[in-house]
Amino acid sequence: MMSHHDHWPRRAAAAAVAVAALGLSACGSADPSPGAPAEQLLDPETLPTGPYAGPYAQAFAEDLEHYAEQEVRLSAAVETVVNPVAFTITTPEDTAENTGEGGAVAPLLVVEFDDTSPALRPGDPVEVTGTVHEAYNVPDTEENLGDPPGPEVLASYDGQPFLEATSVRTPAPQTTAPAP
């Protein structure tokens, strides 16, 4: 014979499920609460979609994490040549002049494992095609470099986003005909 106390665990479990269901339904409200994480406030319509092709500029740098593991094509200027297969890029000169950004964009490390890029010098304009990675890992990446620099050279890039290049081109210099 069942006593009144035998139903207590079942009633408690049913009440807990009902309270949890009510709590979860409140989580789906359309109005974001004050202090909600920024990720919840992003409008999916404004997030970048598809491959990026354009200058390495502030707008791209701000959205860099959204391009992780995607192929992009960037026009930029070489800032520093780390070794024959690794260099950093910065905002192209013409973009910086036109937008007033001049140096506001952090340099981005570019690594080209195939080492087919032309000899580069700081200031050279380049067009780089490659895959964006969220974090450079010195030990993992250095094993793929043909002539790895010492750990101290690339250590400052550890954990920073980088571009694994599949193509590095230097645009042909545009010559203008002398005025008559």
C-alpha closest to that of 86 among 160, 39, 146, 35 = 146
Across the range 116-137, mean pLDDT stands at 89
Q: Which pLDDT does position 25 carry in this prediction?
A: 47
Instruction: Collapse the DSSP code of 15 into the 3-class scheme (helix H, G, I; strand E, B; otherwise coil) and give the result.
Output: helix
The DSSP element (H or E) to which 76 belongs, if any, is strand 71-83
Across the range 48-57, mean pLDDT stands at 83
Across the range 7-29, mean pLDDT stands at 49
Say if residue 106's pLDDT is above 70: yes
CA distance 73 to 166: 10
49-169 adopts what CATH topology?
A: OB fold (Dihydrolipoamide Acetyltransferase, E2P) (2.40.50)
CA distance 11 to 16: 9
**Opening angle at CA 92, ends 100 and 133, nearest 5:** 110
Q: Are 92 and 73 in contact (CB under 8 A)?
A: no
Q: Which pLDDT does position 156 carry in this prediction?
A: 80
61 or 151, higher pLDDT: 61
Q: Are strands 162-169 and 108-111 parallel, antiparallel or unpaired?
A: parallel
Say if residue 112's pLDDT is above 90: no
Structure pTM? 0.62
Q: Are strands 53-55 and 71-83 parallel, antiparallel or unpaired?
A: parallel
Query: Which range is least confidently modeled, 19-23, 134-138, 142-146?
Result: 19-23
Say if residue 107's pLDDT is above 50: yes
Q: Which pLDDT does position 154 carry in this prediction?
A: 73
Say if residue 9's pLDDT is above 70: no
CA distance 35 to 157: 32
**Opening angle at CA 11, ends 10 and 16, nearest 5:** 100
CA distance 98 to 95: 5
Domain extents for the chain? Answer: 49-169
CB atoms under 10 Å from CB of 112, counted, come to 20
CB atoms under 10 Å from CB of 95, counted, come to 20
What is the full DSSP assignment across 79-108?
Answer: EEEEETTEEEEE--HHHHHHHS-TT-SPPE
Say if residue 101's pLDDT is above 50: no
Say if residue 155's pLDDT is above 50: yes
What tens digit of pLDDT does each residue of 57-99 get?
Answer: 999 999 999 999 999 999 999 999 988 788 999 998 765 444 4
| Averaged pLDDT score across all residues of the chain | 72
Say if residue 13's pLDDT is above 60: no
